[in-house]
Structure 1
Amino acid sequence: MKNDCTSNVYEDIECRSSETICLPKTTLKRLVVIGGGFAGLELVKKLKNKPIQVVLIDKNNFHQFQPLLYQVATSGLEPDSIAFPLRKQLAGYKNVNFRLTEVLQIKPKENTIYTTKGKITYDYLVLATGTATNFFGLKSVQKNGLGLKDIRDSLNIRHMMLQNLEQATITCNEKEKKALTNFVIVGGGPAGIEMAGALAEFCKYIIPKDYPEFSASIMKIYLIEASNKILGVMSNNASSQSLKYLKDLNVNVLINESVIDYDGTLVKTKSGKEIQAKNLIWAAGVKGQFPEGLDQNNIVRGNRLKVNENLLVEGFDNIYAIGDVSAMITEKTPKGHPQVAQPAIQQGKYLADSFLRALKNKQPKPFKYSDKGSLATIGKRRAVADIGKLKFSGYLAWLLWSFVHLMSISGFKNKLLVGLNWTISYFSYDKSNRLIIRKFKKN
């Protein structure tokens, strides 16, 4: 490794990562997949023991089930219940190699990627890098609030919440006590309403038992949505029922409202409202994330990569993008496919089939997304469902939501742990994971 790095960022990258990452020698074509989320993992699973060398790269050594991050954040589940080691998943995959590293840059002309641990060449490259929280340029909110995109975020939220509740028992300053126990959730999509519902149940069932020194109305929850309705991606029935459920749980829902500033204690909105709160959770949007090296012409709204009907990144014949980072712009999908698990899983399966067809000298078929419906839960026994023409809510929708999510979790042990936790909490309304393992402090 060179030691005479220059100040140029790309030369620095080459200086740190110019050594080649060791991989088994092979005469097979090499497919490099960046990202072990829903899309990337599904692609790799479908190529198990096929005549192609697959290299899966991720900065984490685990796959995380993001739809249940809010339950980790609100002490309902432990993080290892919704995370599964990638190497355990890939056991028995003779043609697949996992490397734990972070990709810094792509050099398409060289068919090479540069990572924090070294470089890798490829014949085909798949970007399944997902998204990051989009704060839409609100630097004060980004600095003082918390997103909810990975397990670390959910643990930060949990520790922040528990620490602030403990501090609220100590202070005699009523204004500070109010700020410490108020929660603001920004974004009325599925992630936002599920977080609001879980926090409301924490307030209703846990606060009276754990904090008898608090009054019954101590913890106030605000859900702020910039558009004219919550759950805008679902039907009007789902939106109106969700609003009713949230109000039944005493969540203060503010629609046609947006946050413009947050200093860590005071939330300011566009209409002039001010809310005292030391807990702000941002669930108002995401943006695509991918390494440096692609032309700006490849990037569309939401920082996503524009792909054709075969999921090839526009302008390339061997670089693909799947999952949340991918945007297939058509008349039917002018904004690309929804950034949720189902399109990602279907794209992973499709692309695996396309590679297998190519090995047989067959042309790929165009990708077609099959919408299997949408589900969202608002606390226990309350959920909404849009399944084709069926729009329903309540206990049946909640049972369906529970079954679908339980079956989607990786690993039998994880399914068992989550199922056991849900069964216990169903009867007791308890959240047993209320431990402050490490002190959380905002940067």
Structure 2
Amino acid sequence: MGRDEGGEQVAIVGAGLAGCLLAVLLGRRGVPVTVYERRPDPRVAGAERGRSINLAISARGLAALEQLGLRDQSLKQALPMHGRMVHPLPGGQNFQPYSADGERAINSISRAELNRSLLDTAEATPGVTLRFSQRVTGVDADAGTILLDDAGSEPADVVLAGDGAYSAVRESLALDADADFLEHGYKELTVPPKGGEFALDPDALHIWPRGTSMMIALPNLDRSFTCTLFWPKDDFAALDTPEKVTAYFERHYPDVAGLMPDLADDYAHNPVGSLVTVRCWPWTRYGDGAIVALLGDAAHAIVPFFGQGANCAFEDCIEIDRCLTEAGGDWARALSLYQERRKANTDAIAEMALDNFIEMRDRVSSPAYQAKQAATHALERRLAGRYVSRYELVSFSTMPYAEIPARIRRQNRVLAASVLGCLAAAALAARALRRG
């Protein structure tokens, strides 16, 4: 199984964000790559309606884009969000900065625009071939072929599957995978510009927490906002007339309902998407004819509530490239290293993303939560570099996800010991004063 980099036929399944980024990395290594995408070229056909979920690109994604020379270009297509703007139902709003110094931001960027940039870069990379409207239905790892919907099969020595949470490649290999669906779905809406300007503060990710559900809004360069409802799926069907939709939003989202002139139409025609966490192992299959590996959502789809799906998938691509270098181009060894290193990290961010959903929909409007966040930021400023919040470690560092929970536990133990020490010293001092 000692296939060496350079002499093999490499196929990437999926021309989404991760597939394109990986194609560029491999093309620059001199590895010829063919990328198969089931959709027509989105640069021509346009994005699917209501399927964007704007991306929040942060440190990990930016580090990957830097390797392609796309960091600055991507940031020009993005809008920084320095915190959350929480909209409680009683009215009013409060801004909660993401970082202790208020300077760091995550970046709202259109998934479609970033995909276009990556497609352009892949197309311009020598050795990379893009093939659209080519649906891959599976892989025969022993025969060394990928199976196409309407064109039989084509040979491939290495298959890298970035074909999403419902991966046809993963299904064809019968890998051990569990798909856990939330009872919630999502639907997208739009807040257009008002008088040519943003109708909401563009420096924030807006959240309308409503206990068991929520709505969020991210800014776009055209001064609109992409809003996403995260509701129990049964709740979507209950609003089956324009009048019910309008009345519901006026009651539950009163400060934004009047900013959505196309609310009823968007609600009626934009689809309801599912939210799934995929846990799979192994991510690789070593056949007699081909090595197959999963990446991105195909291996480890996560819910979007920490804004890490694309960031995490980009890290997969960087790790594959790094492992190829360490393995001297031996694909079998490289992909074995890749899955061993990434599995614990993707499991960790999957759990943190699920927890962040509860935080966003339930906790952020609580005075107790706000006091805790203020105390956390105060500690970060006082103990710079020694005490760092989970959010900052996830979004503003490239620390492996799997190391973050242990780092937080250590910090809290040290802090608790310090507080107890201070309390004990104060008690001793008080007793000494009483004796004196």
TM-score, L = length of structure 1: 0.39
Answer with 1 or 2: which has the greater Rg: 2
Name the structure where helix makes up a greater proportion of residues.
2
TM-score scaled by length of structure 2: 0.40
